[in-house]
Structure 1
Amino acid sequence: MAKVGRFKNEQARADFMNAYAALEARSTLEAKTREIPTSFGTTQVRQCGQGTGTPIVLLHPFGGNGLYWDFVAGELADDRVVYALDTIGTAGKSVQTAPIAGDADFAGWFGEVLTGLGIDRAHVVGLSQGAWHTALVGSQLPQRVASVTLIEPNGVITKMKWSVLFKILRFGINPSEEDWRKMNAWITPGVTMSKAQFDCAKASLGYRTRLGWARVLKDAELRSFSVPMLAIFGGESVACDPVAAVRRINSLVPNADTEIYPGMGHGVLDQIPERVVPRILKHVRRHDHSPASNSV
């Protein structure tokens, strides 16, 4: 039976909320927050920007939350409104109250958030685990999605190596601060977290998510993917095989574009936002007025 995500105990919740508040206090982004009620609980949303472009919705990576996007949200919001969600069922200010039993439920939650925000359709951008969630939304709710951008979609297009999975699982048992630093340097070389970011990410381990984990999409699922897709990879990523992933996307997805940045790792967006953000904007502007899919 599907369960509801929650913090391990009240102390874990308090520790996370304190870390979240400290991280939010350091943000320089001009944003307002909204709470959107859904059938699965209340969703916290950070909103910035204005303009007539189709809105962008951002889905964060594991251990992150809507605050993660603050360093690029302003540029993404150059000619449109941008919404960064605290994904339901993850550590953040969203509060899950009902189980999400599968892909359809996750898409249902996302659709309710769009409706609560007054949005008919949106571009969806996700990083790492957020890329998995973005792929789910694009597959399950194509009529509400103008395009998707998958940044480092590990475990979605190709399998993660067992050695990588084992190292991550071993790390998650009881990580020390030194372990955290080593793991971050290995997964996202060239990316240095601030103390506030580090504290918030570490505190997120006090949350027990029930959303499940990414799975590799089947050939039939990729062939039927009707939403325009941009997939971005770091050429030296340890989280996936960029070349194999791009080959599979190009051979199966009807309306896809791909980009591999040589020398970059899993943290490609953090490493070179000045190159990745314009690439994302080029994609979304190209598909701002694409007709909605009639797929169900």
Structure 2
Amino acid sequence: MKITTKDGVQLHVEEAGDGTPILFIHEFGGNHASWEPQMQYFSRRHRCITYAARGYPPSDVPESLDAYSQAIAADDAVAVLDGLGIDKAHIVGLSMGGFCTVHVGLRYPERALSLTVAGAGYGCEKEFEEYFRGVSLEVAENFERKGAKEFSKIYALGASRVQFQNKDPRGWQVFAERLATHSDRGAAMTMRGVQARRPSFYDLEDELKRMAVPTLVVVGDEDDHCLQPGLFLKRTIPACGLSVFPKTGHTLNLEEPAAFNALVAEFIAQVEAGRWLPRDPRALPGQIMRTR
């Protein structure tokens, strides 16, 4: 089905199952189909929704750079909920979708039952901020100049993707073939408008400290540029937990689907039971052992 955003962009949406809603938001290197292992698993007891972001066919591909930004991406996620008549949902996002999930929590906390932020952090580290912006623009140019069919062969073998290839060659091949179907223009505009311009988590510290939505952060231990930002989110968001998957890269939900599904299912169960709480104030970060 299609829903229409407030600026008239049509987004492709798929859903399955009944129960408390879960909205899945995909990464730059994937699309709505990247969540198929989660759609199958969670739809047994939840209403599961996935959608193709703007710039990702079969959703519309706006031509103007002004149609792409981090704020617009968060607005689109809420537009999907509105289009389906959903008041609140658990929000689950990977990478670019993880950033979007954080911004849904900041901009629309009343719409989120919980936030799962997986593999998010690229460009947040201050020492790599300018490098990230530069390489994002280079990636955008490559998608336009070489096209997704050719450039995907390079992009799919990034430093945090080869773990997936080594563990699950067939699964990685599906990921790579999906990446090759990206819109050349949509991928370039997404890189320039969303990725290269989004704010670092570190610049949002004050807002994150006030965000009360239950949050789970998930990072692979070989996804190097997400580790420190993940720790930052853990230490900053009041009701936040952090899980680190060993020997794991960026494509968490596909690389380790069983572990990812079990972890998120337990998190959602704790949230729905009212047991995912802010950190106990007695758990002082500076204390090593109590002596009095």
Normalised by the size of structure 1, how large is the TM-score? 0.74
More helix by share: 2
For structure 1, the 5+ residue unaligned runs are 1-33, 291-296
1:46 is the counterpart of 2:30: no
Residues 272 and 101 of structure 1: is their aligned pair in 2 closer, same or farther, counting only changes over 3 Å? Answer: closer
Partner AA of 1:279 in structure 2: L
Aligned pairs for 1:209-224 within 5 A: 209=189, 211-213=193-195, 214-217=198-201, 218-224=204-210
Could you tell me which residue of structure 1 aligns to residue 283 of structure 2? none
The aligned residue for residue 49 of structure 2 is: 83
Change in 2 beyond 3 A, CA 1:259/1:195: closer
Distance in 2, matches of 1:289 and 1:127, equals 25
Corresponding residue of 1:20: none
Query: Who is 1:251 aligned against?
Result: 235
Q: Which residue of 1 aligns with 2:288?
A: none
Alignment of 1:61 with 2:27, yes or no, is yes
Amino acid at match of 1:188: R
1:58 positional shift: 0.6
- In structure 2, the residue matched to 1:189 is 162
Cα 1:36–1:179 shift into 2, 3 Å = closer
Residue identity matched to 1:110: A
Checking the alignment, whether the CA contact within 8 Å between 1:154 and 1:160 is kept in structure 2 is no
Give how far 1:135 is off: 1.0
Structure 1 residues 99-156: Cα deviation after superposition (integer angstroms, max 9, x where no partner) = 5575554444332321220111001111111111111111100001101101100237
Shift of residue 44, structure 1, vs aligned partner: 1.0
5+ residue gaps, structure 2: 166-170, 275-292
Asked if the contact 2:164–2:249 (Cα under 8 Å) also holds between the matched residues in 1, the reply is: no
Classify the secondary structure of the residue corresponding to 1:56: strand
Q: 1:152 aligns with which of 116, 119, 123?
A: 119
Cα distance, 1:90 vs structure 2: 2.1
Corresponding residue number in structure 2 for 1:201: 179
Report % sequence identity. 21
Q: 1:265 maps to which residue?
A: 249
Q: Name the count of aligned residue pairs.
A: 253
Q: CA deviation at 1:284?
A: 1.5
TM-score if structure 2 supplies the norm length?
0.75
**Counterparts of 1:203 and 1:114, CA distance in 2:** 26
Q: CA deviation at 1:185?
A: 2.7
Residue 284 of structure 2 is matched in structure 1 by none
Partners of 1:168 and 1:157 lie apart in 2 by 13
Whether the 8 Å CA contact 2:120–2:226 is kept in 1: the answer is no
Secondary structure of 2:253 counterpart: helix
- Tell whether 2:251 aligns with 1:276: no
Distance 2:127 2:152 in 1: 20
- Give the aligned CA root-mean-square deviation in angstroms: 3.0
Q: Does the 8 Å CA contact 1:235/1:265 hold for their aligned counterparts?
A: yes
